[in-house]
Structure 1
Amino acid sequence: MENTKFKAFLPHFYLVWSDDLLTQKELASFREFIDNQNWLSEEEQEKLLANINISTPPSRPQLNKWKAEIEEGLKNLPEAKDIFDISVWLSDNNPDIIAQEQAFTALETQLGLAGEEAISQFKTLGSSFTSVHHTVSSFDTAKLTQILDGDTADIIKKVKSVISRPEFAYETSTDIDVYRQRVFEWCKILADENLGNMAYPKAYGGGENIEDYFAIMETLSYHDLSLVIKFGVQFGLWGMSVMSLGTEKHYKKYLKDIGSLELPGCFAMTETNHGSNVKGIETTGTYNHNDGTFTINTPHPNAQKEYIGNAAKHGQMATVFAKLIIDGKDYGVNAFVVPLRDKKGKTVKGVTIGDCGHKMGLNGVDNGTIRFDNVVIPKEDMLNRFASVNDAGEFESPIPSDNRRFFTMLGTLVGGRIGIPRSALSASKSGLSIAIKYGDQRRQFGPEGGSEVPILNYRMHQRRLIPLLAKTYAMHFGLQYLTSRFLHRTEAEMQEIEALAAGMKSYVTWSARDILQECREACGGKGYLSENRIDALKNDTEIYTTFEGDNTVLMQLVAKSRLAEFRKSFENLDSMGMLNYVYEQTKIVIMQKNPMATRNTDEAHLLDDTFHKNAFEYREKVILASAAKRLKKLIDGGLDSYDAFNVAQHQMLDVAQAYLDRLMLEQFQQAVNAIEDEGVKTILTKLKQLFALSQIEENKGWYLEEGYMEAVKTKAIRKLVNQLCWEIRTDAVPLVEAFAIPDSCLAAPIAFL
């Protein structure tokens, strides 16, 4: 039909659908009207009727489009008296429409749309700046996606294609056996696509590409997180432990079958009694001189391996961490490959496996307990890259120091502390995509006499979600930096990278926990429905703060690393050098703590990269120096260093947090500075500024205590955070769409209103 005729009906369509409910009476009135209009052809009547089909209501974007056209009509008809005046204008004064004034007026009366009262909704709505604020992308979303994906765009595209297949439809059964089997089947599909063995050497069927492996883990995390963890246990922890701790004979014997999932396995490190304290584990691997074998044994129930993924149902072998005992002497923690089940799933003699059962989340992963009752394994199944037993039954290692050997061995497994935060980041992106898209469409309240307003237009709703979106982008670039450092590492850098990975894992997984909670609340009752997936994202990521190391413990590791670097700086300086070092630190203080700086509320200053960088660096350096000074005072006062660290433990977390905040900002700034596309650069600049200012606002108490800022400045920062949220709101949906999460993975009905 003629477009002008159709447009004449837009006010009627919009008003009857705008309350999300077309009643049977309204439907009957419409049908009768359309059927009686002889000036409409049958085809035109069918097209009109298609827009009042209760089973297929118009989408919110379609309603927004209609509303925009109606509002444009009102701008051109300031004296409009009723809906028909708008219909005539929208029809471009179509004579057929003009001739039907009486019929249209009768329809409007039946629908309750007659007179000025009906069009006052649009007029009132148009007068409210809150009401008219809406999504208008200012940048090319595809270009931002390309920047986010970087060099791994091809593998990301492949993984998204695989997990969008029908066979990856989410499992809804509450039977954990059904769920576990489905996750195993998904893993088999991924193995058949050569995604599981991506990090292994090409000589053993792999892709020899650890960067792509990390991208696979992150992309899979847009799907079911049980799949991600099962995948990570099998191909990451189990396979990579063999690759990183073993030698050529182990690669030949195991890697190909691990990569194809012919040999499901486990990573058996954690014990009931010792949790994060790997050095304290009690499982033993005793060397037998008579036949050159090892006996793996669990000395008592609390030394059992606990919470081991893949153990309860599918695992056939495990990398078992145990104390190596030769002739009664303890040679520290080493790794052994130990059988659990035969090919038919029967548990081998001496192995007892328990099932951890139903958990808070990740119920598609079969976590279990393992006990060993003098299980004998061949000598060749000790993973001997860093330590071995020679033919004479003597301990040998290229690393003579027990401590250094232990930490070198664990350092090869740092990849897990990169994969987990990247997975948590994807969960955050999914939660924010659901909440922001819902907020853009969900309407509540509004100006007097006007339509309801998208909840994302409300300042507090923006405050809840948009700073978290900025933080998510900051973490994306921070994790890219960590991954790059790990991929291009030198031996001298490993200790720093291990600490960085520990810190990033804690920072991002804690953030994911908080982001998903806010997303749930921001979606109201809809966020509580399982169909909208935030519950699964929340429950499944809860454990991310615990496994691969408890976050609080890991943050202490970061703090100790920073303190060691601080101490090293002083140890390498003579008295004049130390004087210069102290002067360099105080220069920032002298410059920034003068009254002009502490009270400066100029917007250009508050948005400036240098101001942000200085504020973050100052906080980091002062907290670090303060912690070092306190520890020294405690130790000088007679406390043992262990006790001193315990007394100052809360300061240790502050040291780590300030360091990681600064690092996230630094990487965000560098990433934005490198972008060439102006549209993308402009919006990411706003996000970068919002991240910096919202973090300063979060720590304003500290800055006020230190005299680094005065109240007038922190108030100005609060106001600017509000303004940035308001400005970014129009791009909020495109910013989450740039994550390019497949619709089948996002899957939440409220994200597709």
Structure 2
Amino acid sequence: MTDPDVYVHAANSPAAGEPRIDVDRVTDMLMGTWADVRRQARELVKDPALWRDDSLGMAAHRERVLAQLHVLVDNKAVHRAFPKRLGGGDDHGGNIAGFEELVLADPSLQIKSGVQWGLFGAAILHLGTDEHHSAWLPGAMDMSIPGAFAMTEIGHGSDVASIGTTATYDPETEEFVINTPFRAAWKDYLGNAAKDGIAATVFAQLITNGVNHGVHCFYVPIRDENGQLLPGVSSEDDGLKGGLNGIDNGRLAFDHVRVPRTNLLNKYGDVAADGTYSSPIASPGRRFFTMLGTLVQGRVSLDGAASWASAVGLTIAITYATQRRQFDQGSGTDETVLLDYGKHQRRLLPRLATTYAQIFAHDEFLKKFDGVFSGRAASDDDRQDLETLAAALKPLSTWHALDTLQECREACGGSGFMFENRFTGLRADLDIYATFEGDNNILLQLVGKRLLTEYGQQVAGKDPKQLAAFAVGQTAGKVFHGAGLRRLGQAVADFGSTARSVELGLRGDDQHELLQERVQQMVADIAMRMRGGKKLSAEESFALFSENQTELMEAARAHGELLQWEAFTDALATAPDDGTREVLTWVRDLFGLGLIEKHLAWYIINGRLSTQRAASVSRYIDRLCARLRPHALDLIGAFAYEPEHLRAPIASGIEQVRQDEARAYYATLRASGEAPIDEKVLHKQQKQAAKSAARS
């Protein structure tokens, strides 16, 4: 493919004397803590053997992706998180960073890899003990044991605690009996279940001595060495999906399938030979969330993969927008480059700013994850914060990716609709990111509940006057790197005064205060409306929660957006020079003001902005877009994608070649004197001639 930089027009670059980013150093900033791992992964995915082949049907696509997993094994690309004694690297953050980059090759490859090593293998690693690790991890690592992660059920998607599959202990044989009691308890949407998997980590209600001890995980063989289902195991193929058709998603059911007692992955709960249950965690609820929390890496990786997929789409669309011309401004003038139109800037540049914010936030998130899973910072508070961050950030980045890819598609017109230019395929594959590894709305609900819990702990036992002085804020650094969650903002004199009309500027500190106070006010309002809910009946309590559910989730979204803004601001301090810092500050401001613009109604209703100040937000965003227009190619250049990563003809430079050819053709035609006269020009000449004749 042609290098697009060859065709960069001078108008696409900052003027002499203007600040400009150091592209290479910004690349380092974006690639973050595990930049070396990301670069290694990007070199690997330059191999065409790992690319998606759009000509393949579903069956052939599945076979190709299965073969690609073996390529990853051969290149030691997927074992970083596993123990060193088994050939891994004990590098949890680096493992996720490298895994995310597989989205460049084929999202089906990324997700099937995630099923094998990030779910199936990770369940054995994090829920099992050394005995389980030695028995099954080598096979999971080298693909001799392809595995499914059997948690989700048809009837209980996100409600894992209520799954119907049972594992009943039989002390006479020292076996667990795995059973699917009804159709809604079938495990569904499982990668490797339809064809490739020979074992599964099955989540089921553990029952022993007549007591249900809640959801636990079991290692269950499902096929023999010839790929035939084992007795009692049923499987169905999910068939053609809206995307990710390189993965053999399917359903599993178990008809009183027996497995040895030792197949219980018993790190957090064990059953003795006589059926006695024991656990290092006494509370069933805390035990359940601890077990699920060990599998949070799926949400972590989706946050990063979605953010980088957005970067791919924007790189293609902005490259095209700096080359494609449409509509002249009068006879004899050049047609206008798309990105010179204010509306086109508004479509793409704010989404570029959001992508920057999400990538910076993701690196902080990934460092938090690595701290917890390495054991350096693995307290209960650290784990709870990690789970809350995952639930807050994954919805924002996955929704943003879908929105961005769609807008990029439309911004490229018919060319964007061509499958070869990546938008339609990427969007179809990433569509499911919004609902797997936790439905985005359910995740935001979890965040909202955590915010309410923190708020309740702050105001517990206080009288109304004391409630007026609640909450002192924490920085994003505290949330990402230490224990505890944001304390919801600054202290206020009383609740009534928080609705005062304030005229704030639009600088960084002002953006921070506006974004922060929105979270604070929303949580406080919901808490006040829901106070006393514990005294209500179950039906009345549910009705009260349901009435406030939408606003609770919106508060959670606002909390996640604030964390992203703060992470971007923290990143500015690492800029290598003043010019880079100035341009990136404009990008940060575009992100922050975009959030404020999106919620202008709330800011006006709640007295945070006057109508005059609110109106200036949109005008200033327009100015920022125009200011950033000359920097657009530098900003996407910092993503450091090469032609083998993009694989989109419209980002290859051919559009610039076409445009230059057309312009040269018309210039030559005009110079030859043989160009036909435009009818409008002819009419104008005739009118002028008629006027001259009349005067004479």
Calculate the TM-score normalised by the size of structure 2: 0.86
Matches within 5 A, 1:703-714: 703-714=603-614
Residue 454 (structure 1) aligns with: 337
Residue 167 (structure 1) aligns with: 49
- Give how far 1:495 is off: 1.8
1:272 aligned counterpart, secondary structure:
coil
* Residues 1:265 and 2:147 are matched in the alignment: yes
Residues 64/499 of structure 1: CA separation in 2 closer, same or farther (3 Å cut): closer
Matches within 5 A, 1:256-655: 256-448=138-330, 449-488=332-371, 489=377, 490-571=379-460, 578-581=467-470, 585-586=491-492, 597-598=502-503, 605-606=505-506, 608-632=507-531, 640-655=540-555
CA contact (8 A) 1:627 1:655 kept: no
Q: Deviations over 1:605-638 (max 9, x none)?
A: 42x2110111011111111101111112666677
Following the alignment from structure 2 to structure 1, what is the Cα–Cα distance between the partners of residues 162 and 498? 47
Residues 566/59 of structure 1: CA separation in 2 closer, same or farther (3 Å cut): closer
Q: Deviations over 1:41-95 (max 9, x none)?
A: xxxxxxxxxxxxxxx9x99866666xx6xxxxxxxxxxxxxxxxxxxxxxxxxxx
Residue 189 (structure 1) aligns with: 71
1:417 aligned counterpart, secondary structure:
helix
CA contact (8 A) 1:217 1:422 kept: no
- Give how far 1:582 is off: 7.3
Following the alignment from structure 1 to structure 2, what is the Cα–Cα distance between the partners of residues 495 and 158? 32
The AA in structure 2 aligned to 1:501 is A
Task: Report how many aligned residue pairs link the two structures.
Answer: 625
Following the alignment from structure 2 to structure 1, what is the Cα–Cα distance between the partners of residues 163 and 4? 57
1:535 aligned counterpart, secondary structure:
helix
Following the alignment from structure 1 to structure 2, what is the Cα–Cα distance between the partners of residues 402 and 169? 45
2:104 aligned counterpart, secondary structure:
coil
Following the alignment from structure 1 to structure 2, what is the Cα–Cα distance between the partners of residues 458 and 609? 27
2:274 aligned counterpart, secondary structure:
coil
Following the alignment from structure 2 to structure 1, what is the Cα–Cα distance between the partners of residues 258 and 34? 44
Following the alignment from structure 2 to structure 1, what is the Cα–Cα distance between the partners of residues 201 and 272? 21
- Give how far 1:585 is off: 2.9
Residues 708/161 of structure 1: CA separation in 2 closer, same or farther (3 Å cut): same
Residue 584 (structure 2) aligns with: 684
Following the alignment from structure 1 to structure 2, what is the Cα–Cα distance between the partners of residues 161 and 185? 19
CA contact (8 A) 1:332 1:402 kept: yes
Residues 531/135 of structure 1: CA separation in 2 closer, same or farther (3 Å cut): farther
The AA in structure 2 aligned to 1:710 is S
2:491 aligned counterpart, secondary structure:
helix
Residue 43 (structure 1) aligns with: none
- Give how far 1:589 is off: 9.3
- Give how far 1:415 is off: 1.2
Following the alignment from structure 2 to structure 1, what is the Cα–Cα distance between the partners of residues 91 and 395? 25
Calculate the TM-score normalised by the size of structure 1: 0.80
Residue 674 (structure 1) aligns with: 574
Residues 406/60 of structure 1: CA separation in 2 closer, same or farther (3 Å cut): closer
Following the alignment from structure 1 to structure 2, what is the Cα–Cα distance between the partners of residues 59 and 184? 32
2:132 aligned counterpart, secondary structure:
helix
Following the alignment from structure 2 to structure 1, what is the Cα–Cα distance between the partners of residues 7 and 588? 33
- Give how far 1:165 is off: 1.6
CA contact (8 A) 2:84 2:90 kept: yes
Residue 26 (structure 1) aligns with: none
The AA in structure 2 aligned to 1:413 is L
- Give how far 1:576 is off: 7.4
Following the alignment from structure 1 to structure 2, what is the Cα–Cα distance between the partners of residues 666 and 61? 33
Bigger RCO of structures 1 and 2 (CA < 8 A, at least 6 apart): 2
2:280 aligned counterpart, secondary structure:
coil
Following the alignment from structure 2 to structure 1, what is the Cα–Cα distance between the partners of residues 110 and 437? 14
The AA in structure 2 aligned to 1:684 is L
Following the alignment from structure 1 to structure 2, what is the Cα–Cα distance between the partners of residues 735 and 588? 44
Following the alignment from structure 1 to structure 2, what is the Cα–Cα distance between the partners of residues 199 and 747? 30
Following the alignment from structure 1 to structure 2, what is the Cα–Cα distance between the partners of residues 593 and 645? 24
- Work out which of the two has the higher radius of gyration on C-alpha atoms and give 1 or 2: 1
Following the alignment from structure 2 to structure 1, what is the Cα–Cα distance between the partners of residues 529 and 447? 17
The AA in structure 2 aligned to 1:418 is V
Q: Deviations over 1:542-597 (max 9, x none)?
A: 100100111111111110000000000112757875454379532699999877x5
CA contact (8 A) 2:148 2:190 kept: yes
Residue 730 (structure 1) aligns with: 630
1:234 aligned counterpart, secondary structure:
helix
Following the alignment from structure 2 to structure 1, what is the Cα–Cα distance between the partners of residues 308 and 625? 22
- Give how far 1:306 is off: 0.5
The AA in structure 2 aligned to 1:615 is L
The Cα RMSD (Å) is 2.3
- Give how far 1:134 is off: 5.2
In the alignment, structure 2 segments of 5+ residues that lack a partner are 372-376, 473-489, 654-696
- Give how far 1:670 is off: 1.1
CA contact (8 A) 2:50 2:106 kept: no
Following the alignment from structure 1 to structure 2, what is the Cα–Cα distance between the partners of residues 552 and 575? 33
1:725 aligned counterpart, secondary structure:
helix
CA contact (8 A) 2:28 2:35 kept: yes
1:196 aligned counterpart, secondary structure:
coil
Matches within 5 A, 1:114-125: none
The AA in structure 1 aligned to 2:322 is D
The worse-fitting range, judged by mean Cα deviation, of 573-582 and 717-726 is 573-582
CA contact (8 A) 1:559 1:656 kept: yes
Q: Deviations over 1:657-709 (max 9, x none)?
A: 11112111111111112323323212211110111111111111111111211
CA contact (8 A) 1:462 1:729 kept: yes
1:445 aligned counterpart, secondary structure:
strand
CA contact (8 A) 2:468 2:494 kept: no
- Percent of residue pairs identical: 37
In the alignment, structure 1 segments of 5+ residues that lack a partner are 1-55, 69-131
Residues 381/705 of structure 1: CA separation in 2 closer, same or farther (3 Å cut): same
Matches within 5 A, 1:102-251: 138-251=20-133
Residue 680 (structure 2) aligns with: none
Q: Deviations over 1:104-147 (max 9, x none)?
A: xxxxxxxxxxxxxxxxxxxxxxxxxxxx5657792221111111
Following the alignment from structure 1 to structure 2, what is the Cα–Cα distance between the partners of residues 457 and 135? 14
Residues 591/668 of structure 1: CA separation in 2 closer, same or farther (3 Å cut): farther
- Give how far 1:436 is off: 0.8
Following the alignment from structure 1 to structure 2, what is the Cα–Cα distance between the partners of residues 640 and 445? 61
Following the alignment from structure 2 to structure 1, what is the Cα–Cα distance between the partners of residues 71 and 399? 31
The AA in structure 1 aligned to 2:53 is E
Residue 19 (structure 1) aligns with: none
Following the alignment from structure 2 to structure 1, what is the Cα–Cα distance between the partners of residues 518 and 564? 14
Following the alignment from structure 2 to structure 1, what is the Cα–Cα distance between the partners of residues 532 and 328? 60
